[in-house]
Amino acid sequence: MVAGSSRTLSDQLFKQLQQAIVRGDIPANTRLSETSLASQYGVSRGPLREAIHRLEGRRLVVRTPHSGTRVVSLNHEELIHIYQVREVLEGLACRLAAKNMTEDQVADMYTLLDEHSQQVDFREGVAYFQAEGDLDFHYRIVMASGNQRLIDNLCGELYHLVRMYRYQTSTSPRRPEKAFREHRQIVDALADRDSEMAELLMRRHIRTARLRLERMHTPANNNKEYSESGAVL
């Protein structure tokens, strides 16, 4: 038991397993054996079962009675569905953030944009940095919304799933710059306290990503799980 010293074993296991799944250490569609995992983490089956049940609540694993639990594996359609939900939820987050953000938080957003503007120029490893930076960007706006339920939905569930399924946007290498400009527009709207515009821009920003996903839909990769790779926004 090395990291994440929570109060109870179940909490520790929950965090460890969640991190392992999101980071890809446990690949999608992997079967989670209770006995082997219990011995692997050096605990009994009781706390491990509870952790798995909580992962099920977060929709990170799927459980079938008497049969076993598997790490969630999204097909093309399910990923599109997630982006549809994400579009409206982040639109709401942006609208609320425009009202509730402090001036300091707005200033921090501009600082973040400056950091990203430097990274966009580097072609090496831009996918990874841009991906993490992008999630950071969205993360901050959601946190500033002040709506705890919205925060839980996005940061506690959807972002984990999105992080699992990042795609290389190989068809359009100029996408990072466009995404960056969109980010700038969004922050400008936040600074202006223009909540309507902020919601509209964020929805369009994510809708763009979804349409890109939909375009790479072929009968071949339908009903087929994706492998982890690059960034989409």
Partner DNA sequence: TAACAACAAATTGTCGACAATTCTCTGGGC
Partner DNA sequence: GCCCAGAGAATTGTCGACAATTTGTTGTTA
Chain contacts with a second copy (rule: CB under 8 A)? 7-8, 11, 46, 49-50, 53-54, 56-59, 65-66, 78, 81-82, 84-85, 87-89, 91-92, 96, 147-150, 152-153
33 touches DNA by CB under 7 A:
yes
**What minimum distance in Å lies between the beta carbon of 91 and a second copy?**
6
Residue 134: HSE in the Cβ half-sphere, 13 Å Cα cutoff: 27
d(CA 208, CA 176): 12
Nearest to a second copy of 80, 112 (CB atom):
80
Q: Tokens representing 194? A: 């223009």
**What minimum distance in Å lies between the beta carbon of 221 and DNA?**
26
50 touches DNA by CB under 7 A:
yes
Nearest to a second copy of 72, 190 (CB atom):
72
d(CA 175, CA 138): 17
- The item of DNA, a second copy, none sharing an interface with residue 148, based on CB under 5 to 8 Å by kind, is a second copy
Nearest to DNA of 41, 159 (CB atom):
41
Nearest to a second copy of 28, 113 (CB atom):
28
**Contacting residue, 35, 102, 118, 148, with DNA by CB under 7 A:** 35
d(CA 158, CA 75): 15
Place of tokens 């990291």: 3
- The item of DNA, a second copy, none sharing an interface with residue 69, based on CB under 5 to 8 Å by kind, is DNA
Angle at 135 between CA 133 and CA 51, to 5 degrees: 130
Q: Tokens representing 165? A: 């399924």
b/e map 6-36, b = 16+ CB within 10 Å: eeebbbbbbebbbeebbeeebebeeebeeee
d(CA 138, CA 202): 9
Which residues partner with 64 through β-bridges? 68
**What minimum distance in Å lies between the beta carbon of 60 and DNA?**
16
- The item of a second copy, DNA, none sharing an interface with residue 34, based on CB under 5 to 8 Å by kind, is DNA
4 touches DNA by CB under 7 A:
no
Q: Which stretch binds DNA (CB under 7 A): 45-53, 90-98, 157-165, 192-200?
A: 45-53
Contact (Cβ atoms closer than 8 angstroms) between residue 74 and residue 161: yes
DSSP assigned state of 155: I
Contact positions vs DNA (CB under 7 A) = 7-10, 32-36, 43-47, 49-50, 63, 65-69
